[in-house]
Structures are given as C-alpha cells and as structure tokens.
Amino acid sequence: LPPGPAPSSWIVGNRNQVPREKPWRWFQDLNNQYGPVVYLQMGRTPTVVIGTAQAAWEILEKRSSVTASRPRFIMGQEIMSNNMRGLMSEHGPFWRRWRRVLHGSFMQKTADSYKPIQSLESKQLMAELASSPAKYREHLERYATSVAVVVTYGRRVHDIYNDEVVCLNRQTQDFLTSIIIPGKYLVESVPALLYLPNFLTPWRTVALKQRATDIEYLTRLVKEVKAKMEAGRAPHSFCRQLIEEREKNGMSELEIAYTCGTPFGAGVETTAGSLASFLLACATFGPTFIPKAQKELDAVVGPDRMPTFDDLADLPFIRAVVNETLRWRPVAVLGGTPHASTEDLVYEGMFIPKGSTIIANLWGIHLNPADFPDPHRFDPERFMTKRDYPGPWQHSSFGYGRRICPGMHLGYSSVSINVARILWGFNLSKARDESGQEIDVDTFAYSDRFNSVPLPFPISIVPRSAGHLAIIERENEAAQEELRAYDS
C-alpha cells in the first residue's frame, strides 16, 4: 500500500484525523511528508490522496478506464438525489448516458455557440462593475448564473437574490455541498446505519425533504420549457435539446429534470469563484502584472472598443493571467468530486485496491513548488513558456480522465473574456480606508467548502478613462437590446 499515517483505530481508521477545517491543507502536508501518493483508511474504505500532477496523470488519466468511478455517496446521491445526479454517479450505463448528453451540449464546438450570450452578459457585467464596483461579488455571480440559466433553460437571470430558480438551486447546492464533505457523516463509512429506523436518523429526514423540494422545482422548470416549445417561443437551450431528443436518448422526464440541474450546480460557483480569485490577485499582485496586461490590450485592442473572443488568440499574456488564476487558487480545491477505482491497480510499486476513493488534491498539486516555484505568488509569466507538465492545459484545474470537467470550454471562455475585458476597462488596486491608507487583503481568506472561493475583500475598481467608461456604457445598452430575447 502507499505510505500514510497510522490509523487511530481499526473501526474508523484515519477518519477522525481528518481536520474539520480545510482538509486540503492536511492532505498537502501528508503528501509533503509521505510522498505523491498517500494511503488513508476512512472507515472500511481505502482512500488515496494524490499530491502531484504527474501521479494524478498516471493514475486518473492513463488508468482512467479503472479510476473514473465515484465512491458511494450515501447522503448526497442515494438519499438526497434518488441516485439521479450524474456527477456523483458510479461509472456505468446511467453515468455514460448523462455524460454523453452533456458532452453533446458542452464540447468545444457547441460551447463556442454560447460565446455570443457570454459576450452579452459580460458587457452587462462590465457596466455593473463600473456603476457599483463595491458589489463586484454579486455582479460576478449574476453573470455566471445568468449564463448557466440561459444555456440550460433559455431564460436570463436579473436578480440573484430574488430569482426563484436561483434561490432554489442555491439552496440545493448549499445543502449538497454541506453534506458531501468527506468524513462528515458516519453513515458514509458505516452504511449499516441505514438500517436504523427513521426516528433515529434525523440526517436522513432532512436529506429526503431536500429531495422532494428538488424534484418539484426541477421538473417544473422542464415543464416551463415544454410549454414555451409548444407556444413556439423557446430559444435553443440544453433543456430544449434534451426534450427533443428524449426518445433517442432514452431518458425519463425526471432524469432530464436532474440533468438540467447540472450546469447550475457545477458551473456557477466555479466560474464566479475563479473570477473573484482573479480580482483578489489584482488587489494583491496587481502592480506586478496589470501594466504588462494593459500594454498588451492597448496594442492589440486599443482604447476604442472592448476585447472580443476573437482577440484572445492574439493576447498570450491575458491567456497566461487566466491560466495563472485557475492555478493559483483552484476553486475545485479537492479536485472536484473524488474518483473511485473499479479494479486493483499498481502505481510505481504501490497497490491501490479496487474500491479505493481517490482524491487528486488540487491545493497540493497546484501549489507544488517543483512545478510552480514560489507557488503562492501570482505570476502569469509561468504560463508564457511551456513547462514539462502533463496534459493540455499546463495546469490541472479541470480534473482528469473520463471525469474531466465537461463544462471546461464554457467555464474557460467565461473566465477569459471577463479577465480580458476587466483589465482592458478598469484600473484595479487595493482599496483605501478613510485616512487614505491602502487596505491589505488576505490571499488565504477562502471559504471552507467543497468549492473554495474568496471571502469578501475590498478592492478599488475604477474605469481607466472617461473614454473606456463611455464604451462600457454604450456596449451595455446595445447588449440589453439583444438580451431581451431571453427575458421570459
């Protein structure tokens, strides 16, 4: 077996040693102490923590045929989700169908067809940042939410606090992310607890209540799209496509309803959180990279128009800023949902038993000084030259193998276009207090959840000139005309 700390007892294994707070830091320490692959015994479940990109690539990419399953999620998948959420599904026919329809709608070519809507929403984001910069977090979330909801259901989101779809989805996500933390519920390592009667298992009752709420609103949203299709006014969307191809895909209505919940669940916090990390990097390391980024933008785009998706090919330093953002503070800090192995395998003489939970700890992988020297420093220059690193991205933000993020093209486009435009249109620096002193920000102040995103921090966001502001406002006005087609 791979090396690792001794279990504290043979019943719970190492389970009680996992810190309640930010376990990714402990995993990183373990990898530093024991090596790139560490073994833990979580209850009866063998668990492997990977701490380098090279080991993750070998195990999760090259051996993907046997490491692309998921562990059993008793609370999140079986009880709360009726086994209907593909993201937590084991490798098998249900997952394959779910993955195929997602791939059909989010692969590179199809994802490109969403760029016009991403561009329009981003123009609104720019105007919002110009008019109320202090609410930047809300604006980023509105952007990411509206893109996900337009792409899925063909309708926009204006107000993230009051939009019903958003509130219900957020409630679901909050609940789900709070219950799938490894080690949180004893039933995950001792499934026999499922045989206890309901009155002794209050955790089951709350999860079932959430399931009922989810089924009600997820199916209602599909019915709304169906009604619009019948009335001949449903724009193209993921949901519409699934309804049209229902028979071909052999999906039940409930399966369609749950599948439509995927882009919101997986694509909003990841996108908005990555953009928030970018702003945090600007507030901390801005003077080291913003002048070079703006020089590039001025040379390629100029001051008279906003950058477009087509410009990105000519903006290598902006692309480097995007990649460094995704590396520096990986939002899917534990590598997303853990993988599970479906056969025994051996990696560099270490035995990884069938049924192991495999965690590719992105916190450790992206902050490994062997690949990224001085890793907590935000330094886009690292991405200006190719390094010896496995995989096409030169970082590991989107995961591995058959489970690689199917929304990566959509997510990457969102982060890129907004990074380019924000740097083009605004000066970003530390905020100042009433006495004019710069306010320092803490680059480690991140949320302690399944996705780890920056906690609120102050930043100054000011248009670069009156000319830039005029363009931002003009572009937004024109965008609003086009966006009306998605208002329901």
Residues that bind ligand HEM (CB under 6 A): 87, 99, 102, 106, 262-263, 266-267, 270-271, 274, 326, 331-332, 335-337, 339, 397-400, 403-407, 410-411, 415
Q: Please, how many CA atoms are within 13 Å of residue 104, restricted to the half-sphere of its CB?
A: 14
Closest CB 91 distance from ligand HEM, rounded Å: 9
In order of 322, 393, 398, the CA distances from 317 in angstroms are: 9, 15, 21
Q: Is 239 annotated as a binding residue?
A: no
Q: Which is nearer to ligand HEM, 96 or 220 (CB)?
A: 96
The nearer residue to ligand HEM, 47 or 397, going by C-beta atoms, is: 397
How far is 31 from 8, CA to CA, in rounded Å?
Answer: 19
Nearer to ligand HEM, 123 or 395 (CB): 395
Specify the DSSP class assigned to residue 47. E
Tokens representing 285 are 């390391």
Gap between the Cα atoms of 168 and 396, Å rounded: 31
460 phi/psi in degrees, rounded to 5: -95, 125
Which CB, 260 or 290, lies closer to ligand HEM?
A: 260
Q: For residues 237 and 230, give the distance between their C-alpha atoms in angstroms, rounded to a whole number.
A: 15
Shortest distance, CB of residue 267 to ligand HEM, whole angstroms?
A: 3
**3-state secondary structure (DSSP) of residue 42:** strand
Phi, psi of 46 (to 5 degrees): -65, 135
Rg (CA), the chain: 23
Residues 109 and 121: beta-carbon distance below 8 Å: no
Nearer to ligand HEM, 268 or 306 (CB): 268
- Kindly state the smallest distance separating residue 27's Cβ from ligand HEM, in Å: 15
Q: C-beta of 275: minimal distance to ligand HEM in Å?
A: 8
Cβ within 8 Å of residue 22, ≥6 positions away: 446, 448, 452
CB of residue 226 to ligand HEM, shortest distance in Å:
21
Could you tell me which of 324, 331, 332 has the C-alpha nearest to residue 282?
A: 324
Chain-centroid distance of CA 269 in Å reads 6
Closest CB to ligand HEM among residues 297, 326 = 326
Q: Kindly report the CA angle at 153 between 147 and 156, in degrees rounded to 5?
A: 45
Q: Which residue is nearest to ligand HEM (CB)?
A: 407
Residues in Cβ contact with 485 at an 8 Å cutoff, skipping those fewer than 6 apart: 235
Tokens standing for residue 399: 């995961």
In angstroms, give the least distance from the CB of 410 to ligand HEM: 4
Q: What is the dihedral of CA 205, 74, 104, 361, to 10 degrees?
A: 120
Residue closer to ligand HEM by CB (options 335, 380) is 335
Cβ-based neighbours of 104, under 8 Å, separated by 6 or more: 110, 241
How far apart are CB 273 and ligand HEM at their closest, in Å?
A: 8
Residue 439: which residues within 8 A CB-CB, separation 6 or more? 430, 431, 432, 433, 458
Closer of 300 and 365 to ligand HEM (Cβ): 365
Q: How far is the CB of 376 from ligand HEM (least distance, A)?
A: 19
- Measured from the CB atom, the residue of 307 and 399 that comes closer to ligand HEM is 399
CB of 451 to ligand HEM, least distance (A): 9
Question: DSSP character for 58?
Answer: I
Mark the binding-site residues, compressed into ranges.
Answer: 405
- Residue list, annotated binding site for heme: 405
